Structure 1
């Protein structure tokens, strides 16, 4: 029976936590690399007057854990607090924690399979004229600007049959040149 997949979009509440892999020693066993992300997703609710506001319950908080090679890749991805991300994985056991004021709470856990920058939200912010807050946002802003100004010297070979006929594009030949077709 396949495992239930959980997907979530939200913002990183803090920089990712990372612990590198450790070789076994006489005193301790080997440990896989470990990375953990805290992702917050704010829910919006419609008010009686038709306007939208943040949920009075506050944001949904999820801990996303990665192990082994996946943890190393998360660490190399250079995510930072506030980055909009999409995460997916299997639902893990909830973890309990104590707040600063002594209350016991629980948080959902996702055993991560993948995490990526939510490029739709980054690009949306860049197109609205928002200030890029990190390297990803500035890249998205440059991409959005490039798409707004048409490049007259470029014809997309996959833009329909008419373009292929005009340019003499041969998919078999292009695949051979790229090394995909023998």
Structure 2
């Protein structure tokens, strides 16, 4: 059952649901505002349909409008076509001018920077913990072998923190070797 009305207190709305997949893509292609939806329309050859849309987009004279339509088309075409096909037909440099593309790019860059910052902080903490642990062990046991140092360098931050606490109880190098063997 399909609903074609909406009622709420003092407001009544009747509408027609358009199922894009039932509308021939050629009909959608007649209206510039519908270009992004054309690849979702009924078509025997989605690739050829996207080629037609790309030609229509290229004919749009306003650069900003052309780039926004191209970006929106690429996003929606991604629901039915492979991204390499889309990139091959819709010029990427046009899409890059789109405010939609720029917004998505800025959001991705911000997320990437935040992730990079967190990873950098974790890496820095691990490096500092490693330096401190090696200094303490070298001081406690005068020196440690390169093999032991290499095993310590492979520990995670949590393991280094555990080793930092455990080394307070170590009496001899054998305690360190035993601790490492259990990790």
Instruction: Name the structure, 1 or 2, with higher relative contact order (CA <8 Å, separation 6+).
Output: 1
Relative to its length, the structure with more helix (as a share) is 2
Pair member with larger Rg:
2
What TM-score results when the alignment is normalised by the length of structure 2?
A: 0.21
Relative to its length, the structure with more strand (as a share) is 1
What TM-score results when the alignment is normalised by the length of structure 1?
A: 0.21
